[in-house]
Structure 1
């Protein structure tokens, strides 16, 4: 027992910050094994460490196991399953080791112990700080995560582009003579009559038009293959605005669709020349049908941003005029400064005389009796702000620096390639494609990731089966950390076959966050991880379940046999129970459903007497003629007569005397029917 107690003293257990501080105050080499609550310490290495301490370390080496869940300085090791060994000297970390390789760990311990005894100078780190090895590992991890996210984004982008190419190809094939124009917010609905005048000369027919609200996401699709897209500033101003969008049918003889629509846009925006009229006798210019819209607004200047104020031609002229005025003012200011200097020199003598007069006034204001309290309230402190007001004024955040930005919105926009026109049809005139383009697949619903301890899988699956449409994917992983967890299996049946599952295994579910009761039904199983929001859930789902991931719901053949065997056993047990009750139930049913059989069973004593009369009729000459009609009732009694006797022998265990006793009294009368069986079997055979 003493030896066991001594073994317990070789290693300390640290669960709080205070215990860690006390342990770090010890002299010599300190070895801390860091573990998480769900994983536990590495018990296989304890014997090796204790042997090294007893044989080589002694009082110069101290061991401890630290729970990262409750120690603030070790939070970065929480939820990690890899064994971690932290080496410290004089309260500072000097090295770190990962893994459960005993020989390598012993080698590192001996080197660190030698350095600690010799007081070798080396770099040290705070217990809560990252060591170079950790920083490098974290950098590699973040680079891997960024790379995976970039690859996933590229996959999604390529998938989107391929789908849009497929849809626009179908639209161009089925609508080869259709184009779309987008008008700016300065064009109202009442102007369509004027807009249609140039279209008639170009053989254009407006088949459909809409006045609808657009958003920036629409232009993300429209501009995916556009060579002359609208600028981001213009799209930002159009976001949420109502625009007129027209669906034009163009005659093939007019030329390519982009060229015809560009000509149409030029006709609408060019300056025109009006013929002479009553007011003006000569041709004179008139403004275009539609013109650009200039928008000016303030934007916040970002930190480190270098910008140049945009100036229009009109404002440039104003600025030049202002600069001229400023130059003239500066010259006049110089003149005034020279004059003011002369005045100051001339007034120095007068200032000395005024100062002497002020001294006399101050002396006169002193009290005549110095010993008496004299309080003068001249109201000089009324304008002095209190300290609280000064603090409030200082706490006001500075106003952000802003600059003026100008955007010129075109009155009409025409794409210069057919694919962009097909994209415009896809976005704004989807009803025109109903006959040949299938509807878009439904978007993926918002979802999150929930992870549970793997041993709860059976209980969780019972709930999942009831809400299977909201759990599109699940799987078993080594932990619940997105990006670090490794897949164990995608099938619950395959996981059941694992002989030694670890306590760190996690059952991870992708949960569609559409119905609130879906999450509420799973929260009862205490998830170890849950995505913070929908955006984080989408990223987590890509890390756990890539696009090519597929959950295996197929039941293996060996798993199908087990439930069938159980059912067979249950069915056999039920059959035995039913079989024990079958004789009585069959007799009751026979008495109710078959009156002929009931008469032979219940009226066995009277049977021979009753059968003698029909027997006489059967022995008579008409018997053979009636034999076909009476074969069935005649054959039943003789077959039924021996069956009750045989049946009674089989059915006697449940009811030995109740069935047999009523059959004994007619035993004396049994000889009369005895001669009949040999006569009847002959015709029956």
Structure 2
């Protein structure tokens, strides 16, 4: 027994695989609070658990807190924020519960203590126990729901990507057809190169077709698949040999005269190569059939091929004759990864920043906000430094919100495990969320307060002394003050002759307000007389 005044530790702390394995061998019922490093164990339930142990469990009940970050068997719980309770007996999991519902947990533990005492007495044998690495029914149900939702999101994302590709190819093929639609395309495989003109010469003359361009092309499976994008024909059904010594030829055809009868050039080319069927593999007596080649494994290789429709032809022109079609290709666009918004308590910032280092490019943008609701959230800070430099302490209401790319599934799931308080439902919602949170211009660097270097100007006042000499020869001095800066040019002061026989002249002085010193400058005097002086006289 513990001595009087000595604290009894009722909960065992588990941090490593070794501690975990050793603890599982303990007798009785083990109630384990599984937690993540950033979240911590459920402190609100500790007093209740200790009460159960003292009043009901005794030596039958053992309590522990297990940090899943360092325990392999608990890896699936890493990053979770919800209280997780695992009940173990005899090294096997006998029950499991999520949440901090004290009455429910108390009832669950009380019942398991009763059963464990019967087991210890030998009057009862537990059934339906699980390995600690297995998912409990509630856990499995939740996991399946999450996986189902993720699968739906992935299907939506895949459809969105395909739609983007489709729209781009439509626009690109339209532009090419508008400018190069009068050309036909034919592909001549290596084994047909030597004799295709001999076989097709008469047919081409009859159809009014002439060769416009003939050049070597690099035909690959991927290129063939892209050329057949707008067709039901599949590239895997077309075998073609690769002969580095005699590469494939790409040929463009045109009509020898615009006034020749017949349909559009694409139909004419298909007719010449495949015959009346106008499709692969062609009529029995067609050039296409004549150049089919069978290898020892009974694989059939094509010798001639033509795009099955106009849009396929446009893609063929783009891929096989890049110099010809480059003027009509759409400009390369900056691909924006599909993404969602994820909001977390600001207390998780350090963990999130460390996690982002493991997935470069995974976090496209981030910021600190006063709410995790994208429409209502107000920006607090754009950087960790700006957020932490505030004088106010961090609150539970403050969130760090990330724009997370979904291009890397592993990256997305890693952030998901941290337990966001909010996550965009899918990428379409994510796009809208991020448009609210990270509007255009968000990435612009903050304007630094620049010290504008200006030439120091000392404000000076213009002091004008007006000296008047009256008829008696007495000088009367009148002083007037006017604002003036030191950068102003000295203006010439001129006086008017006011009364006959009087002499007027001005003296101009500057003085510095800051030093309260009167700076006498050049004084210009203009004496009155019968005639105005033609030039000032400077003293």
Please classify the TM superposition score into its range, dividing by the shorter chain length.
0.5 to 0.7
Does the 8 Å CA contact 2:227/2:312 hold for their aligned counterparts? Answer: yes
Residue in structure 2 matching 1:493, options 379, 388, 412:
379
Give how far 1:624 is off: 4.9
TM-score by length of 1: 0.52
How many Å apart are 1:9 and its aligned residue?
1.8
* Residues 1:204 and 1:4: Cα distance change in structure 2 (over 3 Å): farther
Q: TM-score, normalised by structure 2?
A: 0.64
Partners in 2 of 1:213 and 1:84 — Cα distance?
Answer: 59
Asked whether the 8 Å contact 2:69–2:78 carries over to 1, the reply is: yes
Deviation at 1:413, TM superposition (A): 1.3
Alignment of 1:73-222 (within 5 A): 73-119=73-119, 120=124, 121-188=126-193, 195-222=200-227
Would you say the 8 A contact 2:338–2:427 is kept in 1? no
8 Å Cα contact 1:189-1:244 kept in structure 2: no
Residue 254 (1) aligns with residue 262 (2): yes
Which has the higher Rg, Structure 1 or Structure 2? Answer: 1
The whole-number CA distance in structure 1 between the counterparts of 2:303 and 2:148 is 46
- 1:59 aligns to what SS in structure 2? helix
Matched with 2:44 is 44
Hey, what does 2:9 align to over in structure 1? 9
2:32 aligned counterpart, secondary structure: strand
Where does 1:616-655 land on structure 2 (aligned, <5 Å)? 624-625=496-497, 634=506, 636=508
Contact 2:404 2:412 in 1 (8 A): no
1:314-357 deviations in Å (ceiling 9; x for gaps)? xxxxxxxxxxxxxxxxxxxxxxxxxxxxxxxxxxxxxxxxxxxx
Task: Please state how far the C-alpha of 1:87 moved relative to its aligned partner.
Answer: 0.4
Q: What is the distance in 1 between the residues matched to 2:243 and 2:234? A: 15
CA distance in 1, matches of 2:253, 2:215: 12
Matched, 1:413 2:421: no
User: Equivalent residue of 1:167, what SS?
Assistant: helix
**What is the aligned partner in structure 2 of residue 546 from structure 1?**
427
Secondary structure of the residue aligned to 2:294 is strand
1:38-73 per-residue CA deviation (whole Å, 9 max, x = no partner) reads 221111111221222223223322211111122233
Whole-angstrom CA distance in 2 between matches of 1:5 and 1:288: 96
Cα distance, 1:411–1:618 mapped onto 2, change above 3 Å = farther
RMSD, matched Cα: 5.6
Count of matched residue pairs: 448
In structure 1, the partner of 2:319 is 427
Aligned partners of 1:208 and 1:247 also within 8 Å: yes
Q: Is the 8 Å Cα contact of residues 227 and 315 (structure 2) preserved in structure 1?
A: yes
The correspondence for 1:473, drawn from 326, 340, 364, is 364
**Residue equivalent to 1:275:** none
SS of residue paired to 1:406: coil
Which residue of the partner structure matches residue 263 of structure 1?
Answer: 271
Tell me, what secondary structure is at the counterpart of 2:59?
helix
Aligned residues of 1:475 and 1:489 also touching (Cα < 8 A): no
Q: Distance in 2 between matches of 1:61 and 1:541?
A: 36
**Which whole-Å CA distance do the structure 2 matches of 1:137 and 1:105 have between them?**
19
SS state at 1:127 partner: coil
Q: How does 1:210-249 map to 2 (within 5 A)?
A: 210-232=215-237, 234=239, 237=241, 242-249=247-254
Matches of 1:406 and 1:413, distance apart in 2: 20
Deviation of the 1:500 alpha carbon: 3.2
What is the CA distance between 1:108 and its match in structure 2? 1.5
Take 1:97 and 1:183, find their aligned partners in 2: how far apart are those partners?
Answer: 68
Following superposition, the deviation at residue 264 of structure 1 comes to 1.6
Against the structure 1 CA distance between its residues 199 and 61, is the aligned structure 2 distance closer, same or farther, given a 3 Å change threshold?
Answer: same
SS in 2 for 1:66: strand
> What's the secondary structure of 1:145's corresponding residue?
helix
Instruction: State the partner residue of 2:483.
Output: none
Structure 1 residues 631 and 40: CA distance shift in structure 2, 3 A:
farther
Offset, 1:202: 0.7
Q: In 2, Cα distance between the equivalents of 1:104 and 1:631? A: 110
Aligned-partner SS, 1:180: strand
Query: Post-superposition shift, 1:453?
Result: 9.8
| Greater helix proportion | 1
SS of 2:251's equivalent in the other structure is strand
Q: Name the SS of the counterpart of 1:186 in structure 2.
A: helix
1:55 equivalent in structure 2:
55
Q: Kindly provide the CA deviation profile for residues 559-606 of structure 1, in whole angstroms up to 9, marking residues without a partner as x.
A: xxxx99x989x99xx9xxx9xxx9xx84xx96xxx9x97xx9xxxxxx
Unaligned runs of 5+ in 2: 276-280, 382-386, 417-422, 477-493, 521-539
Instruction: State the 1:33 CA deviation.
Output: 0.5
Shift of 1:94: 0.2
Please state whether the residue corresponding to 1:225 is helix, strand or coil.
Answer: coil
Asked if 1 retains the 8 angstrom alpha-carbon contact of 2:93 and 2:129, the reply is: yes
User: Which structure exhibits the higher relative contact order, with contacts defined as CA atoms closer than 8 Å and separated by 6 or more residues?
Assistant: 1
Give, in angstroms, the shift of residue 540 of structure 1. Answer: 8.1
Gaps of 5+ in 1: 273-286, 297-404, 465-469, 478-486, 512-530, 557-562, 601-606, 653-658, 664-685
Deviation at 1:232, TM superposition (A): 4.0
Q: For residues 385-427 of structure 1, give each alpha carbon's deviation from its aligned partner in whole angstroms, at most 9, with x where no partner exists.
A: xxxxxxxxxxxxxxxxxxxx43211211123333322332333
Q: State the distance in 2 between where 1:437 and 1:407 align.
A: 36
**2 CA distance for matches of 1:186 and 1:631?**
117
Alpha-carbon separation, structure 2, partners of 1:623 and 1:153: 89
Greater per-residue strand proportion: 2
